[in-house]
Amino acid sequence: MKDFATGAVCLAVLGAGVMGRGIAQVALEGGMAVKLFDTQTGAASRGRDFVADMLRRASQRGRLPAAEAEAAIGRLSVVDSLSALADADVAIEAVVENLEVKRKLFAELEAVLPPTALIASNTSSFRIAAIAAAANGKDRVGGMHFFNPVPLMKLVEVVATPATRPEVAAAFMALGRRMGRVPVLVKDGPGFLVNLGGRAFTTEGLRLVQDGIATPAQVDAVMRDACGFRMGPFELMDLTGIDVNFPASLAIWQGYFQDPRIQTFALHESLYVSGRFGRKSGLGHFAYDRDGNKQAPSADAQVSAAPTKAAVLAEADPALRNWLTERGWPVSTADDGQCPILAAPWGEDATAVSLRTGADPRRLVCLDLAGDTGKRVTVMTAPGADLAVRDSAIARLAGAAPVTAIHDSPGFIAQRILAMIANLGCEIAQIGVASPADIDTAMTLGLNYPRGPLALTDSLGAAKVLRILENLQRITGEPRYRPSQWLRRRGLLGLPAATPD
């Protein structure tokens, strides 16, 4: 097989849209010759001009020497027929997301490409095996799923079908590295790796809002401030577009035979059918002005109560006692019947804590110690709580960090979403979609997560994640929260999440 890592390579790019242009650019920067084809009259020429302009801009910014930029432009050519691709070593299609169109194109490519040439699809919607169904040489077909914008997003998912030869997958990995990307090897399936793994972040956020536990602004604030995500799930959905992420969520859920762990919810569909697509329509989970600025309510609890002077613990909890002591809270051993009763449960709601410990539910205030509590603290109370007592605790907490007050919820906000991300990452490892290392690489590079799901599992502790999920499943009675066997075994054995079988 040709040396795709360093040898002379001619790459055919089918489709001169946003993705095709980006693929062409990084291939040229990797020293390859590129032939650009598009069925729309003039599209390939416009694509060539766009890529040339991007390369020259990169040179002006000092990212690429001028001589290299001009040499790269010289390796880019436009062709007006598939027959002109007869000398290509590899072809990557980036045409419209229509299965029949892609199948037809693959069949036509096979007729003109040499038998040694490799064929890849950049699809994000379809199984590679479904596209390759029309091909005779299915063993030379795979996926190279780039992310938009290609020149800036370093990740590429190399997707291998059951028919893809190992050496073909290895060649695609080498191509990805040559293009300056970080390739991860992924098994063919609905959503591949990143689009599958990203379901937990958004769908659990939707569940919290649909159940009336918190508002979109509250969920986003907690995930940004306490958990280190660049964007919360609701502002992320509004940015990508509800018209994009709802159908994707539905397709992946159906592709995995309606696994409850990746199920989306009626709130998501309601926005979709009403045309509330997010920033592009001016209204989604939030409203946006003409400049795209988000109009959102504050996530901070506003109280007028005087800060409490004391508190008691619902149960012996050294971690909570130390947390309070570090912040100057006088923790009393005697309950005066008036001050807040504090607890820091994992995976339980305030109702369960009250029933288990005997704490007065009217004065019980639960704190979430997951994440960076120096940037935001989340509190919750049981139904019927004395809000004056709650507010006195909030007033004391707010002196050190913003406070978000939510309704009763097993696992608060952060614990639930983090545990679901961790669990889905472990399940992806369990079913062999990718290696543990590639799972974490893909989720950090593809979605800008602060850490990958397996590293997240270790940061919380696999045993603690397992505890959160078991409590969620017990309290809600839902299979949505069933722990992955990968997680269960490592949590029980005290092993790192990336420990191989």
Which residue of the set 93, 145, 392, 423 is catalytic?
145
Residues paired with 288 in a beta bridge: 294
| C-beta atoms surrounding 259 within 10 Å | 17
- How far is Cα 102 from Cα 438, in angstroms, rounded to an integer? 28
- How far is Cα 223 from Cα 408, in angstroms, rounded to an integer? 18
- How far is Cα 453 from Cα 204, in angstroms, rounded to an integer? 15
User: Helices in 113-210 by DSSP H: which ranges?
Assistant: 128-131, 166-178, 194-197, 199-210
157 has catalytic annotation: yes
Long-range contacts of 133-139 (CB under 8 A, 24+ apart): 133/103, 134/103, 134/104, 134/106, 134/107, 135/106, 135/107, 135/110, 136/110, 137/110, 138/163, 138/164, 139/163, 139/164, 139/165, 139/168
For residue 163 the two structure tokens come to 């028919």
- Give the 3-state secondary structure of residue 145: strand
DSSP 114: -
Which residue of the set 29, 93, 110, 157 is catalytic?
157
Which residue of the set 59, 121, 122, 124 is catalytic?
124
User: Helices in 432-499 by DSSP H: which ranges?
Assistant: 436-447, 453-460, 462-476, 485-493
- How far is Cα 202 from Cα 447, in angstroms, rounded to an integer? 12
The phi and psi torsions of 35 (rounded to 5 degrees) equal: -110, 125
CA separation, residue 133 to residues 142, 158, 197, 198 (Å)? 12, 18, 26, 27
- Give the 3-state secondary structure of residue 12: strand
Residues paired with 144 in a beta bridge: 158
Residues paired with 78 in a beta bridge: 36
471 has catalytic annotation: no
Which residue of the set 122, 195, 354, 423 is catalytic?
195
DSSP 393: H
**124, 250, 128: which is closest to 191 by C-alpha?**
124
Residues paired with 198 in a beta bridge: none
Catalytic residues: 124, 145, 157, 195
